[in-house]
Chains A and B, each alone.
Chain A
């Protein structure tokens, strides 16, 4: 079965500082990879996704993520954080085939706090 690890439960950064959220996964092949963001009491919004090709992917709101096969990682980055980025961030993976096609495996989430 898939597993997704987000080692940081809570991260605090100052507005304007850079950000990196870590995500590692366990899977026999390269899965589909995603980052979602959730504001309090809201649904999840897709920030970016990796299916294949260029390992550096750009997403919405100025976010980017880099897939590193050798490290089984898909870390999320932003060069300058805005106060509105404060939210919960979830890394997720999905299998490319099989009976569990369509099932997303989520990490436990990282809560981002932004200081003014």
Chain B
């Protein structure tokens, strides 16, 4: 099974809402990633978790809060977002942080109103 699942597929939220994005993989991978992708642009790395510890934070605003409760699950908690945060949020996983064969989920399309 080489699948990374993400829920929800679509999310519309107001600027005062709190919501969470969820990502799950059952490939035994120990590295997980959050990316943000705007239309017609490449993915931008936000966070990297390695063995459930945050390894890389690409200076992401604190209104985005990642969490890795266990090796299979990755959450992204959202609070007080801005309209410019509307984007496709992609989750990925790899065997280890040094393994770049990253498997991507289908993404969550987020719209902030």
- Across the interface, do B43 and A41 meet the contact criterion of CB distance under 8 Å? no
- Across the interface, do A32 and B41 meet the contact criterion of CB distance under 8 Å? no
Q: Does B98 contact A (CB under 8 A)?
A: yes
* Partner of B100 from A43, A104, A108 at Cβ < 8 Å: A104
The CB with the most chain B CB atoms within 10 A, among A34, A44, A103, A108, is that of A44
Residue of B nearest to A34 (CB): B100
Given contacts A44-B43, A46-B101, A49-B101, contact A102 B107 (CB under 8 A): no
The CB with the most chain B CB atoms within 10 A, among A43, A101, A104, is that of A43
Residues of the A chain whose Cβ atoms lie less than 8 Å from the Cβ of B48: 102-103
Given contacts A43-B90, A43-B105, A43-B107, contact A49 B100 (CB under 8 A): yes
Residues of B within 8 A of A (CB): 4, 31, 33, 40-43, 45, 48, 50, 55-56, 88, 90, 92, 94, 97-98, 100-107, 109
* Partner of B45 from A46, A90, A103, A111 at Cβ < 8 Å: A103
Residues of the B chain whose Cβ atoms lie less than 8 Å from the Cβ of A111: 40
Query: How far, in angstroms, from A92 to B44 measured CA to CA in the complex?
Result: 12
- Across the interface, do B55 and A102 meet the contact criterion of CB distance under 8 Å? yes
Residues of the B chain whose Cβ atoms lie less than 8 Å from the Cβ of A101: 97-98
Q: Does A45 contact B (CB under 8 A)?
A: yes
Given contacts A44-B104, A49-B101, 19 further A-B pairs with CB under 8 A are A36-B104, A41-B88, A41-B106, A42-B107, A43-B92, A43-B104, A43-B106, A44-B102, A45-B104, A90-B43, A101-B97, A102-B33, A102-B48, A102-B50, A102-B97, A103-B48, A104-B45, A104-B100, A108-B42
* Partner of A104 from B40, B102, B103, B107 at Cβ < 8 Å: B102
Query: How far, in angstroms, from A42 to B43 measured CA to CA in the complex?
Result: 12
- Across the interface, do A106 and B42 meet the contact criterion of CB distance under 8 Å? yes
- A108 to B: closest C-beta gap in Å: 6
